[in-house]
């Protein structure tokens, strides 16, 4: 991952502008006026986050149907109403979803307390789509968590939203 980041943030590499890593100060030295702030670097083994946290989030969200997948390529082909010239382009996302599901089915999840480890069963099947989805979902989780904190900070002290005099109901005399 670090090698790819070094490549993407390098200025004058080609005609495209370099990218900027927005959450890692170690890459600030590569920032130029043309840098595009686009990369959020998610690393799986830091103090703040562990690979196990990323795996557990994926398992929880998929298990709770919070992640929806496209239908299979064969179902999409049966439901296709266009002409045969465009079918390959139409089926591409469904084919990629089938490949992703194949990758997920090729994984073995080992639980040890709160830690989860993910290993490939067959080395002939990659897990690139799975990893990309897993890291993408984790980034979404981090953004939701950050937005919730901002929302909670905006709310502040709820008593400032009420106007009136305070009444202590415990000191009132009961008249029965």
Give tens-digit pLDDT for 4-27. Answer: 777 788 877 778 888 888 888 888
Q: Do residues 112 and 86 make contact, with C-beta atoms less than 8 angstroms apart?
A: no
Q: Is residue 173 part of a domain?
A: no
Number of domains the chain contains = 2
DSSP character at residue 63: H
Q: Is residue 167 part of a domain?
A: no
Is pTM, for the whole model, over 0.85?
no
Pair (11, 76) in one structural domain: no
DSSP character at residue 47: S
Q: Is residue 176 part of a domain?
A: no
Q: Give how far the C-alpha of residue 102 lies from the chain's centroid of Cα atoms, to the nearest Å.
A: 20
Please provide the distance, in angstroms rounded to a whole number, between the alpha carbons at the two ends of the chain. 75
Segments forming the whole domain that contains residue 62:
45-154
Q: Is residue 136 part of a domain?
A: yes
Pair (49, 118) in one structural domain: yes
Pair (103, 139) in one structural domain: yes
Q: Is residue 165 part of a domain?
A: no
Q: Is residue 8 part of a domain?
A: yes
Pair (55, 67) in one structural domain: yes
Pair (90, 113) in one structural domain: yes
Pair (37, 57) in one structural domain: no
Pair (16, 85) in one structural domain: no
Q: Please tell me which residue, 4 or 74, carries the higher pLDDT value.
A: 74
Give tens-digit pLDDT for 85-127. Answer: 889 999 999 999 999 999 999 999 999 888 899 999 999 999 9
Backbone phi, psi, residue 71, to 5°: -70, 170
Pair (37, 63) in one structural domain: no
- pLDDT at residue 140 in the model: 92
């Amino acid at each position: 991952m670090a090698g790819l980041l070094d490549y993407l943030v390098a200025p004058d590499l080609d005609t495209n502008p370099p990218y900027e890593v927005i959450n890692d100060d170690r890459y600030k030295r590569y920032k130029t006026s043309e840098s595009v702030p686009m990369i959020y670097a998610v690393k799986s083994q830091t103090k703040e986050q562990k690979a196990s946290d990323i795996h557990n989030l994926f398992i929880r969200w998929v298990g709770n149907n919070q992640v929806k997948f496209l239908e299979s390529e064969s179902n999409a082909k049966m439901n296709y109403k266009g002409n045969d010239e465009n079918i390959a382009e139409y089926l591409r996302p469904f084919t990629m979803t089938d490949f992703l599901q194949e990758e997920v089915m090729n994984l073995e999840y080992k639980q040890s307390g709160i830690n989860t480890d993910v290993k490939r069963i067959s080395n002939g099947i990659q897990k690139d789509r799975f990893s990309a989805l897993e890291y993408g979902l984790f980034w979404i989780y981090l953004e939701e968590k950050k937005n919730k904190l901002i929302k909670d900070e905006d709310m502040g002290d709820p008593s400032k939203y009420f106007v009136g005099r305070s009444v202590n109901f415990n000191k009132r005399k009961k008249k029965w």
